[in-house]
């Protein structure tokens, strides 16, 4: 069974590096307090680690 993580944007991307803004958008986040659920893969974890200062990450029970 796959595990999932819930990712919430908690800080703005205004004034951040263009590649950090792009990473947040690639995760599917569009605004502050927007939450998405992704499968916990090394690729997603790498994206989250790159912009961890803008995000809040929690384990999710399942993808709904």
- For the chain, the structural domain boundaries read 4-60
What is 4-60's CATH number, 3.40.50.2300, 3.30.1390.20, 3.20.20.70, 3.40.190.10?
3.30.1390.20
Distances (CA, A) of 30 to 1, 37, 39, 50: 29, 13, 19, 17
Give the pTM. Answer: 0.91
d(CA 63, CA 21): 25
Tens of pLDDT, residues 9-61: 999 999 999 999 999 999 999 999 999 999 999 999 999 999 999 999 999 98
pLDDT in tens, 32-45: 999 999 999 999 99
């Amino acid at each position: 069974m796959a595990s999932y993580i819930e990712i919430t944007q908690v800080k703005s991307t205004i004034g951040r590096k263009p590649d950090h803004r792009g990473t947040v958008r690639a995760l599917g986040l569009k605004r502050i307090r927007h939450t998405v659920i992704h499968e916990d893969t090394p690729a997603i974890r790498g994206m989250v680690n790159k912009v961890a200062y803008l995000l809040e990450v929690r384990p999710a029970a399942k993808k709904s």
